[in-house]
Amino acid sequence: MNIDPVVTPDSFPFEVRWYGLVIMLGMILGVIYSLRKAKMSCISTEDLLDYVLFAVPVGIICARLYYVLFNLSEYHSIGEVFAIWNGGLAIYGGIIGGFFTMLAVAKFKKMNFLSVIDCFAPGVMIGQILGRWGNFFNAEAYGALSHISFPFIGDIATPIFENDYIFRMVIENDRVGTIAVHPTFLYESLWNVAGLLLIHFYFKNKKFNGEIALIYASWYGFGRFFIEGLRTDSLTQGAFRVSQMLALACVIAGITLIIIGRQKAKSKAKELDEYISQFSEPSEIQKENK
């Protein structure tokens, strides 16, 4: 089964692709969600939108540059480099670009950077949840051959879900027909849904500024490490998959910093309790007067 990645008819003056629409929808919903979380952190709508104004375009540019740099042989003209509607955005490039852009804006506005990225982390996850479906419409980011008979099957096996394209990613060619492969876009989307639920319910209980962003990095990195191992189109550096190396680094750094942050938060809470107790307990003079 083929799905046309182009939304607009041939008579339309320019192409509009599902890939771009899905990513744009993810960004919009992510920003709306982040605005709600900003209120909990006493960050104004105006301030948060300033971050969006700079971080989103820089993030898209960096996501594209990251992908192109690891696939230079695929591009033969400047026009192809800018044709992002054909696919080819690397989430790590976008996150790195957005991270440093928000850091610069936070320094300029003299705001708490860690509190800001806590608000944006779940919004980014929403963007990823929906953005992966752009890969679905472009029939890209697929995984290795799947031998699982249910539900990831193809026409070469018993077609229990022959027409259910959403629950299986397929490659079509003239030699083998349609074969079943792991729908890694779906795996990652569902993994991020679980992560978003975790962050959503934990947000108000965070122990220190930056913890939500670290939970996001650890959660996403852990899932991406294993999902990336199933993909056949990974960006590589020598014999290593770049995304797997970055995912592992995110997990190690994220968990380590969460442990350190919670220990510091616990120590500060203990010091505060001791300080308050000095004023709540009656002094020796008060005891004698009694």
Whether residue 105 has pLDDT greater than 80: yes
User: What is the average pLDDT score of the chain?
Assistant: 82
Rounded Cα gap, residues 212 and 258, in angstroms = 9
Domain assignments of the chain as residue spans, ordered by start: 18-144+182-277
* Structure confidence by residue, pLDDT tens digits, 120-148: 999 999 999 999 988 888 777 777 776 65
The pLDDT value recorded for residue 89 is 82
The pLDDT value recorded for residue 160 is 32
Rounded Cα gap, residues 70 and 66, in angstroms = 7
Whether residue 207 has pLDDT greater than 60: yes
> Of 119 and 85, which is predicted with more confidence?
119
The pLDDT value recorded for residue 154 is 39
Helices 184-202 and 113-138 sit at what angle, rounded to 10 degrees? 150
Percentage of the residues of the chain whose pLDDT score is greater than 70: 79
* Structure confidence by residue, pLDDT tens digits, 153-176: 333 333 333 444 444 444 444 444
Nearest-CA neighbor of 142 among 231, 227, 71? 231
Question: What 3-state class would DSSP assign to 70?
Answer: coil
Record the tokens describing residue 226, joined without a space. Answer: 């294993």
> Of 17 and 276, which is predicted with more confidence?
17
Contact 198, 122 (CB under 8 A): no
pTM: predicted TM-score of the whole model, two decimal places: 0.80
* In the block, residue with structure tokens 């792991």: 182
The pLDDT value recorded for residue 178 is 54
Whether residue 82 has pLDDT greater than 70: yes
